[in-house]
């Protein structure tokens, strides 16, 4: 329950919190892995699959070192301080996602297009003819792409898990998203442009912002009505505010057009 380190196995509030935790980790990881897959495919097509896979392996190794090195440090902080720090970070992080999603949905920013991003990456890497051996540029692009996208996934998994001592649940949601993207990517062998990434980013923005509000509030001593079930109310409030903002921006755009 709110402010505790563990929950009773039959606690409904804890079930709600756990379900939302897994869903948020899954959705956020899915978005990041779709973007990472596009970069890896572009490197594989232009610089060779050996280069691309070595870049991926190196990035995963670096992520493992970062998680192992910094993850346990969070668990040593008092739970109130931990939730305040992580809640504030998630609030900032979530609002950034939400801002971009709102601008895209209202027409002030172009929609995220994986096919176009793939074409741009291929052009930047110098065409579609794979090179022999290990290409330094391709390795660097694959490594940087997977590392940067993976860092966001690692941040979400570690922070979500640390605040409720449920790293395993958060990791399960992230792992499911990673496996889904990898399997579909291997099968279709092309960017996953049909994934509703723009909608997913808005959902993730709402979820991260809501978790940030909830945990930051607990960090400063707030007691939410209904304990963990209050998350549902916060998510609903953020979602409604987001929808109203999009509607207002669309109206503003029509007036100024």
Banded pLDDT at 195 (limits 50, 70, 90):
low
Q: Which of 87-91, 169-173, 190-194, 238-242 has the lowest mean pLDDT?
A: 190-194
pLDDT digits (tens, 9 = 90+) for 123-146: 777 755 555 667 788 888 889 888
Residue 132, pLDDT score: 63
CA distance to 84, 139, 208, 211, 256, per residue, from 89 (Å): 9, 31, 10, 10, 35
User: What is the rounded end-to-end Cα distance, in angstroms, of the chain?
Assistant: 50
Higher pLDDT, 44 or 99: 99
- The residues, any chain, with a CB within 8 Å of residue 154's CB and separated by 6 or more, are 63, 66, 67
Q: Map out the domains of the chain as residue ranges.
A: 12-256
pLDDT digits (tens, 9 = 90+) for 26-38: 888 888 888 888 8
Residue 240, pLDDT score: 95
């Amino acid at each position: 329950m709110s402010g505790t380190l563990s929950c009773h196995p039959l606690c409904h509030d804890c079930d709600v919190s756990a379900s939302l935790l897994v869903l948020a980790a899954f959705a956020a990881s899915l978005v990041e892995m779709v973007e990472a897959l596009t970069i890896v495919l572009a490197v594989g097509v232009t610089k060779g699959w050996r280069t691309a896979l070595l870049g991926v392996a190196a990035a995963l190794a670096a992520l493992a070192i970062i998680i192992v090195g910094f993850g346990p440090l969070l668990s040593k902080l008092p739970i109130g301080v931990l939730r305040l720090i992580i809640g504030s970070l998630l609030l900032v992080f979530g609002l950034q996602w939400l801002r971009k999603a709102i601008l895209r949905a209202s027409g002030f920013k172009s929609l995220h297009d994986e096919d176009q991003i793939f074409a741009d990456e291929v052009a930047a890497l110098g065409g579609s003819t794979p090179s022999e051996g290990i290409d330094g540029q391709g390795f660097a692009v694959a490594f940087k792409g997977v590392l940067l996208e993976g860092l966001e996934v690692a941040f979400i998994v570690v922070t979500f898990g640390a605040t409720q001592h449920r790293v395993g649940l958060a990791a399960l949601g992230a792992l499911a998203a990673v496996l889904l993207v990898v399997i579909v990517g291997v099968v279709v062998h092309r960017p996953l442009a049909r994934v509703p990434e723009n909608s997913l980013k808005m959902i993730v923005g709402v979820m991260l912002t809501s978790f940030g509000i909830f945990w930051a509030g607990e960090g400063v001593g707030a007691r939410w009505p209904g304990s963990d079930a209050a998350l549902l109310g916060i998510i609903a409030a953020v979602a409604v505010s987001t929808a109203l903002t999009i509607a207002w921006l669309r109206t503003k755009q029509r007036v100024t057009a």
